Amino acid sequence: MAVKPKNTSSARSEQQESKGMKKQSSYKRREKNMPRIEREIVINRPVEEVLDFLADGRNEPNYNPHMLRAEQTSVGPIGRGTQFRTEVATRGRSMEMAYEIAAYERPQRLAARTIKAAIDSFIRNLL
């Protein structure tokens, strides 16, 4: 009788759990493999005002020359889970993208992740 090997990722997860390690989501694993770009700028405004401006994706065409349009697609105030649909100009063509706010901890932390795009991205803003 042949023994069928376990799925490698399942075996790895069980092994990690037995060692007290937490199971990572597939998104977290992909995030580790993403290129990391860091940039720092100084804005002479109150930190709460800056976070609120950045969190509202409809403002992005005002400071990102590649952003052609942006609209909020979810209902309610801006916060964790708010979704936006955008159109970005890149390499001579336009591309649609949808993203959602993944973290919103006023006044210091804002993160967003793509939910529909040609590439996966995760953006963190620490103020």
Instruction: Identify the pLDDT of residue 74.
Output: 97
Residue 94 in domain: yes
Number of domains in the chain: 1
Residue 34 in domain: no
Tell me the pLDDT tens digit for each residue of 45-71: 999 999 999 999 999 999 889 999 999
Q: Residue 59: give its domain's CATH number.
A: 3.30.530.20
Tell me the pLDDT tens digit for each residue of 95-120: 898 999 999 998 888 988 888 766 66
Tell me the pLDDT tens digit for each residue of 20-52: 444 444 445 555 666 666 777 888 999 999 999
Look up the domain containing 113 and give its range: 41-126
Instruction: Identify the pLDDT of residue 116.
Output: 77
- Asked if the model's pLDDT at residue 88 lies above 70, the reply is yes
| CA distances to 36, 48, 58, 60, 127 from 53, in Å | 23, 9, 9, 9, 12
Residue 115 in domain: yes
Residue 2 in domain: no
Instruction: Identify the pLDDT of residue 124.
Output: 67
Residue 114 in domain: yes
- Its pTM stands at 0.65
Q: Which of 56, 58, 54, 61 is nearest to 94 (CA)?
A: 61
Residue 80 in domain: yes
